[in-house]
């Protein structure tokens, strides 16, 4: 992992510094991030990865870079997060299966439509699943009768 300064802005009350973070893997995959350090805290502003990171990978990415990033940026790491045992770790929220899950998917979908937002993206955010898996969940909600059919058949 490589971390190097990008730029710094000094003000009367202190300084804000940005850092480039690069994580290269043996198989050619790469993750680039932009971190900002201010007031003893470090936050990630941008993360880009090739190939794209899943939500599970993004959660693990934070673990990979936390200590080296804090040591370079001068921040103070927060208390360690309470984690589940290694086999049970989940990056996405628990989502009910079956009819209850389909009903909740339909609620998220209709709420996003009502607000003029992308309903598939809303289901993705709510469930933590990929676009493909979210489309399957939406189809299951349609099959269960919670959403209207996508296309009228003639």
Q: Are 18 and 9 in contact (CB under 8 A)?
A: no
Identify the band that residue 31 occupies on the pLDDT scale cut at 50, 70 and 90: confident
Identify the band that residue 90 occupies on the pLDDT scale cut at 50, 70 and 90: very low
Which pLDDT belongs to residue 76?
A: 43
Residue with tokens 């990008």: 6
Residue with tokens 């040591």: 71
Strand order in the sheet with 14-24: 2-11, 14-24, 30-38, 41-50
Q: Tell me the CA end-to-end span of the chain in Å, nearest whole number.
A: 58
Looking at per-residue pLDDT, the higher value among 113 and 29 belongs to: 113
Which pLDDT belongs to residue 106?
A: 94
Q: For residues 147 and 13, give the distance between their C-alpha atoms in angstroms, rounded to a whole number.
A: 54
Which pLDDT belongs to residue 86?
A: 41
Which pLDDT belongs to residue 55?
A: 76
Q: For residues 135 and 118, give the distance between their C-alpha atoms in angstroms, rounded to a whole number.
A: 12
Helices 98-115, 119-127: axis angle to 10 degrees equals: 130
Q: For residues 29 and 84, give the distance between their C-alpha atoms in angstroms, rounded to a whole number.
A: 27
Q: Are 33 and 48 in contact (CB under 8 A)?
A: yes
Q: What is the pLDDT of residues 48-81, one digit of tens each?
A: 888 887 777 777 777 777 777 777 665 544 433 3
Identify the band that residue 147 occupies on the pLDDT scale cut at 50, 70 and 90: very high
pTM of the model: 0.44
Identify the band that residue 88 occupies on the pLDDT scale cut at 50, 70 and 90: very low
Q: For residues 115 and 7, give the distance between their C-alpha atoms in angstroms, rounded to a whole number.
A: 39
Residue with tokens 């360690």: 80
Q: What is the pLDDT of residues 93-124, one digit of tens each?
A: 577 888 888 999 999 999 999 988 889 888 88
């Amino acid at each position: 992992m490589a971390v190097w300064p990008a730029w710094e802005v000094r003000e009367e009350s202190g300084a804000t510094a940005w850092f480039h973070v690069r994580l290269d893997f043996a198989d050619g995959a790469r993750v680039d991030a932009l971190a900002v350090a201010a007031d003893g805290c470090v936050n990630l502003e941008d993360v880009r990865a090739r190939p794209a990171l899943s939500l599970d990978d993004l959660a693990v990415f934070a673990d990979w870079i936390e200590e080296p990033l804090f040591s370079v940026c001068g921040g103070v790491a927060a208390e360690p997060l309470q984690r589940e045992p290694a086999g049970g770790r989940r990056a996405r929220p628990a989502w009910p299966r079956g009819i209850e899950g389909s009903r909740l998917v339909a609620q998220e979908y209709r709420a996003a439509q009502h607000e003029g937002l992308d309903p598939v993206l809303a289901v993705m955010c709510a469930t933590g699943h990929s676009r493909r898996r979210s489309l399957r969940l939406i189809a299951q909600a349609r099959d269960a009768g919670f959403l209207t059919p996508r296309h009228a058949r003639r």
